[in-house]
């Protein structure tokens, strides 16, 4: 759990990126490469969108993940 | 924790321009110590982080010459530029293109298309008779540039934004930075700085509804503009706003620069074209604005007349490069390029300033240096080279790396302030103050407020009352809200700094717009109280600089005399805004606010209420 502007964001909260835990090897590439510092490791060592609303929906994470474990399932809610 | 470091050159911002600066600085003098700072991650940061599909403006013989770049820039800036800078850029385009091929390890004809004679095949887009747009298969550009920078041995500090450029005796002597993941502070003593922090692209609110859902890379929040200003640099054209026609809601590029050179254009629902050319200059923005305000929107990107093969080419480029979420976006909106009126565009949802897309930024000369010795600028933060996009960032980024290296090799270590540690502690305490603040204002709220004011009061058409109010709000938020802001994490803490930059840039936009007492560049600086260009402003820059007493000073400065005679205007007219609203309510001589308004009395009676006192007209004495 992390707090952003007083709001608790959980790992399961609605987000547009899906991290496939079957495929993910917790290498940290996405955490390292997200240009907006959105992705961090969560409690079980898997990445999630900690700062979800700072996402530029740039698609860098899905492109950089060596395991194709990240899918931009849908667009951010407001622009869908 | 504080760290003091030593460098010859500090590069602030490792986007397109900054990475080239590092590569060229190393080439010019491999012995120099170069530090590269970025608030983001060099491999993926900046406007071109996910790739790029064209160099929008470059001159490559035999199709186009440096003079053609001068012609374009003279035209779209309406003559307010240093033509020598434009020419210098045109001259170094071929070397930049060759370098990029080599850095990306791509064969000729693979990264950029070539014709049967091996010449780069440029495309037409600009409002001149020469082709200046070079398509590019640049998905991997940032990774390749970053790799090349790391190979130079430069010290790369990702997630470490600069917060201050420090001077002594008016010259650059250091940079203060903080790592947003560790909270460590760095003071880097240096002889030169290459400032390559990109646009001020997080100004007006984006219609996406997300603070980070901007057109420009959201990390480009105008920090460079603000830092340069604080360090004593001169900025120009801050009244020439950037406002784009964008994919409605997505805020991504309208696809115009990919589709327009291939035959697409923008129309409204009646298939009226919005403008005669597809290049994003002040006149074409005015055309788009008119369509919307006359209620003759929305605007669509018309592609349904193109053949299937061309549509597939456009799809491939648009969805596989630059802003790849575009494909998903079109899908979710059922926007098919083959259908009429499919791709809906919105106009001017967010105002900002940018040197690459427009012409606002730190004034630089043909060597990329500002008025502060040791401070070099290139890319979107550079106001010296207008409308140069990615090509300008790469070429001039390289140039300033080289120039900064020559400068740094030839001078002794600059003087530093005494009591450096104590000063550093004071700066850090000030920077960190929002972290410890209990129950303060959330950063997102303050950012929203500042940007909402920017959008409301600065969006053209401008008038002096709105502009004054914008400047007033920037100061009020600074005084009233910044001292109460609360950051809840290191990630959040840097946003406070970004808000400060937004306020400084917002004030510059307002004051500069007030100062330029005319209209110019179509929509970009349209004052309804003075809706015409004036001869006394021909060729004149508005120069903003921090005054001795800390106040924002503005001055007129004649830009250098033109060496090439090209047209200095575009065809457009300012709309006549005297809308006829018909006869409006008139108070007759017998009219006065009735003590017992029969309509109100009936309503209140029906609800069994007495007439409240505040609804009663004042008794006349
Ligand atoms: C969506 C989009 C599409 C575009 N398409 C094209 C195109 O097809 N062709 C074209 O020619 N141009 C295009 N452009 C323009 C082009 O991308 C820019 O002109 C170019 O990237 C500018 O380079 P730059 O180095 O000045 O800025 P950027 O590449 O944006 O880099 C700025 C860097 O500064 C960093 N930074 C910001 N503040 C700080 C700080 N305080 N401390 C440290 N670092 C900081 C940022 O993290 C970033 O890495 C496009 C731009 C966008 C946004
Ligand atoms: S890059 Fe892919 S594999 Fe690596 S941590 Fe992220 S999601 Fe998992
Ligand atoms: S889409 Fe871009 S900004 Fe969003 S989490 Fe992925 S890399 Fe980060």
Q: Tell me which residue of B191, B197, B550, B501 sits closest to B375, measured CA to CA.
A: B191
The protein residue with its alpha carbon nearest to ligand 2, atom 6, reads A30
Give B-chain residues touching A56 at CB under 8 angstroms. 212-214, 217-218
Q: How many residues does chain A have?
A: 80
Contacts 24+ apart (CB under 8 A), B363-368: B363/B233, B363/B234, B363/B235, B363/B236, B363/B541, B363/B543, B364/B85, B365/B82, B365/B84, B365/B85, B366/B82, B366/B84, B366/B85, B366/B88, B367/B399, B367/B400, B367/B403, B368/B396, B368/B399, B368/B400, B368/B403
What is the per-residue pLDDT across B370-383, written as a single tens digit (0 to 9) for each?
Answer: 999 999 999 999 99
State whether the Cα torsion B231-B201-B447-B286 is positive or negative. positive
Q: Tell me which residue of B165, B226, B217 sits closest to B508, measured CA to CA.
A: B226
Q: Would you say residue A60 has pLDDT above 90?
A: yes
| pLDDT, position A7 | 45
Among A35, A53, A72, beta carbon nearest to B45: A35
Q: How far is the CA of B391 from the centre of ligand 2 (A)?
A: 33
Q: How far apart are CA B202 and CA B200, in angstroms?
A: 6
Average pLDDT over residues B232-251: 96
The band of B617, judged by pLDDT with boundaries at 50, 70 and 90, is: low
Q: Within an 8 Å CB–CB cutoff, is residue B180 touching chain A?
A: yes
Residues having CB within 6 Å of any atom of ligand 1:
B 12-18, 37-40, 45-48, 52-56, 161-162, 196-198, 215-217, 219-220, 223, 252-253, 257, 322-323, 356, 379-380, 389-391, 393
Average pLDDT over residues B159-167: 98
| pLDDT, position B595 | 60
Cβ of B219 within 8 Å of Cβ of A72? The answer is: no
Q: How far is the CA of B592 from the centre of ligand 3 (A)?
A: 62
| pLDDT, position B119 | 97
Q: How far apart are CA B229 and CA B112, in angstroms?
A: 38
Q: Is A57 in the pocket of ligand 3 (CB under 6 A)?
A: yes
Mutation choice for B interface testing from A59, A71, A77 by most B CBs within 10 A: A59
Average pLDDT over residues B268-281: 90
Cβ of B40 within 8 Å of Cβ of A35? The answer is: yes
Cβ of A35 within 8 Å of Cβ of B44? The answer is: yes
Least confident of B224-238, B296-310, B550-564: B296-310
Q: How far apart are CA A48 and CA A33, in angstroms?
A: 13
Q: Within an 8 Å CB–CB cutoff, is residue A1 touching chain B?
A: no
Q: Within an 8 Å CB–CB cutoff, is residue A75 touching chain B?
A: yes
Is residue B16 within 8 Å of residue B47, measured between CB atoms? Answer: yes
Q: How many CB atoms lie within 10 A of CB B564?
A: 13
What is the per-residue pLDDT across B564-611, written as a single tens digit (0 to 9) for each?
Answer: 999 998 888 888 876 666 666 666 666 665 566 677 677 777 777 665
Query: Across chain B, what does the average pLDDT equal?
Result: 93
Give A-chain residues touching B350 at CB under 8 angstroms. none
Q: Would you say residue B391 has pLDDT above 50?
A: yes
Q: How far is the CA of A24 from the centre of ligand 3 (A)?
A: 16
Q: Which residues 6+ apart lie within 8 Å of B479 measured at CB?
A: none
The protein residue with its alpha carbon nearest to ligand 2, atom 8, reads A24
Kindly list the distances between the CA atom of residue B312 and the CA atoms of B55, B111, B248, B259, B402, in Å, as whole numbers in the listed order.
Answer: 21, 19, 22, 11, 41
Average pLDDT over residues B296-316: 93
The band of B614, judged by pLDDT with boundaries at 50, 70 and 90, is: low
ipTM of this complex:
0.91
Q: Would you say residue A6 has pLDDT above 50?
A: no
Q: Tell me which residue of B151, B128, B159, B125 sits closest to B55, measured CA to CA.
A: B125
Q: What percent of chain B has pLDDT over 70?
A: 95
Indicate the helix (H) or strand (E) that contains B73: helix B66-76
Q: Is A70 in the pocket of ligand 3 (CB under 6 A)?
A: no
Cβ of A54 within 8 Å of Cβ of B214? The answer is: no
Collapsed DSSP state (helix, strand, coil) of residue B612: coil
Least confident of B206-215, B293-302, B454-463, B607-616: B607-616
| pLDDT, position A77 | 92
Ligand nearest to the CA of B502: 1
Q: Is A71 in the pocket of ligand 3 (CB under 6 A)?
A: no
| pLDDT, position B396 | 98
The band of B538, judged by pLDDT with boundaries at 50, 70 and 90, is: very high
Q: Within an 8 Å CB–CB cutoff, is residue B182 touching chain A?
A: no
| pLDDT, position B254 | 82
| pLDDT, position B610 | 66
Characterize B173-198 residue by residue with b for buried, 16 or more Cβ atoms within 10 angstroms of its Cβ, and e for exposed.
Answer: bbbbbbbbeeeebbbbbbbbbbbbbb
Q: How far apart are CA A75 and CA A78, in angstroms?
A: 8
What's the whole-model pTM score? Answer: 0.94
| pLDDT, position A75 | 93
Looking at residue B116, the DSSP 8-state letter turns out to be T
What is the per-residue pLDDT across B501-510, written as a single tens digit (0 to 9) for each?
Answer: 999 999 999 9
Cβ of B159 within 8 Å of Cβ of A37? The answer is: yes
| pLDDT, position A1 | 38
Mutation choice for A interface testing from B15, B42, B44 by most A CBs within 10 A: B44
Q: How many residues does chain B have?
A: 621
Average pLDDT over residues B442-465: 97
Q: How far is the CA of A55 from the centre of ligand 3 (A)?
A: 5
Indicate the helix (H) or strand (E) that contains B442: strand B441-442
What is the per-residue pLDDT across B318-345, written as a single tens digit (0 to 9) for each?
Answer: 898 889 999 999 999 999 999 999 999 9
Collapsed DSSP state (helix, strand, coil) of residue A4: strand
| pLDDT, position B276 | 86
- Give the pair of three-digit tokens for residue B137: 């298969």
Among A55, A60, A72, beta carbon nearest to B328: A72
Give B-chain residues touching A9 at CB under 8 angstroms. none
Among A3, A58, A79, beta carbon nearest to B50: A58
């Amino acid at each position: 759990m992390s707090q952003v502007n007083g709001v608790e964001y959980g790992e399961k909260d609605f987000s547009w990126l899906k991290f496939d835990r079957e495929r993910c090897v917790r290498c940290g590439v996405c955490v390292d490469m997200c240009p907006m510092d959105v992705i961090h490791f969560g409690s079980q060592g898997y990445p999630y969108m900690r700062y979800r609303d700072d996402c530029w929906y740039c698609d860098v994470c899905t492109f950089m993940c060596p395991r194709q474990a990240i899918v931009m399932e849908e667009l951010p809610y407001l622009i869908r | 924790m504080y760290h003091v470091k030593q460098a010859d050159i500090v590069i602030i911002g490792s986007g397109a321009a900054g990475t080239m600066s590092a590569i060229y600085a190393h080439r010019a003098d491999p012995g120099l110590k170069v530090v590269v700072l970025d608030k983001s991650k060099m491999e993926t940061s900046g406007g071109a982080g996910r790739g790029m599909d064209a160099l929008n403006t470059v001159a490559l013989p035999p199709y186009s010459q440096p003079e053609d770049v001068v012609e374009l820039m003279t035209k779209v800036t309406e003559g307010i530029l240093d033509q020598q800078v434009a020419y210098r850029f045109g001259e170094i385009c071929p070397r930049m293109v060759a370098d990029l091929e080599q850095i990306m390890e791509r064969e000729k004809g693979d990264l950029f298309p070539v014709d049967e004679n091996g010449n780069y095949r440029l495309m037409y887009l600009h409002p001149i008779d020469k082709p200046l747009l070079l398509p590019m298969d640049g998905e991997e550009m940032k990774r390749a540039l970053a790799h090349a920078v790391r190979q130079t041995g430069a010290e790369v500090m990702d997630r470490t934004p600069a917060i201050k450029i420090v001077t002594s005796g008016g010259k650059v002597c250091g940079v203060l930075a903080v790592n947003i993941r560790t909270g460590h502070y760095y003071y880097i003593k240096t002889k030169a700085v290459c400032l390559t922090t990109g646009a001020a692209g997080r100004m007006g609110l984006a219609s996406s509804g997300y603070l980070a859902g901007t057109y420009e890379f959201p990390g480009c929040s105008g920090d460079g503009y603000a830092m340069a200003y604080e360090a004593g640099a001169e900025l120009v054209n801050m009244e020439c706003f950037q406002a784009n026609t964008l994919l409605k809601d997505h805020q991504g590029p309208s696809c115009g620069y990919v589709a327009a050179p291939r035959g697409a254009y923008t129309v409204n629902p009646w298939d009226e074209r919005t403008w005669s050319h597809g290049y994003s200059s002040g006149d074409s923005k005015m055309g788009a604005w008119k369509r919307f305000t006359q209620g003759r929107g929305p605007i669509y990107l018309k592609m349904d007349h193109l053949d299937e093969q061309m549509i597939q080419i456009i799809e491939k480029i648009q969805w596989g490069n630059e802003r790849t979420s575009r494909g998903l976006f079109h899908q979710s909106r059922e926007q098919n390029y083959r259908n009429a009126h499919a791709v809906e565009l919105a106009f001017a949802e967010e105002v900002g300033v940018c040197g690459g897309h427009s012409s606002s930024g730190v004034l630089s000369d043909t060597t990329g240096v500002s008025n502060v010795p040791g401070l070099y600028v290139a890319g979107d933060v550079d106001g010296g080279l207008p409308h140069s996009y990615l090509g300008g960032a790469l070429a001039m980024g390289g140039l300033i790396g080289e120039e900064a290296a020559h400068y740094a090799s030839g001078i002794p270590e600059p003087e530093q302030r005494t009591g450096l540690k104590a000063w550093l502690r004071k700066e850090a305490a000030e920077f960190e103050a929002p972290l410890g603040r209990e129950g303060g204002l959330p950063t997102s709220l303050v950012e929203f407020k500042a940007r909402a004011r920017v959008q409301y009061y600065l969006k053209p058409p401008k008038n002096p009352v709105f502009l004054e109010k914008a400047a007033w709000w920037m100061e009020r938020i600074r005084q009233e809200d910044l001292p109460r802001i609360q950051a809840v994490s290191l990630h959040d803490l840097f946003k406070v700094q970004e808000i400060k930059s937004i306020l400084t840039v917002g004030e510059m936009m307002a004051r500069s717009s007030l100062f330029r007492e005319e209209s110019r560049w179509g929509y970009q600086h349209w004052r309804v109280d003075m809706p015409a260009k004036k001869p006394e402003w021909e060729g004149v820059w508005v120069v903003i600089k921090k005054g001795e007493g800390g106040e924002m000073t503005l001055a007129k400065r004649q830009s250098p005399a033109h060496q090439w005679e090209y047209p200095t205007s575009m065809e457009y007219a300012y709309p006549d805004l005297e809308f006829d609203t018909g006869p409006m309510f008139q108070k007759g001589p017998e009219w006065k606010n009735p003590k017992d308004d029969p309509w109100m009395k009936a309503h209140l009676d029906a609800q069994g209420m007495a007439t409240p006192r505040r609804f009663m007209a004042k008794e006349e004495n």
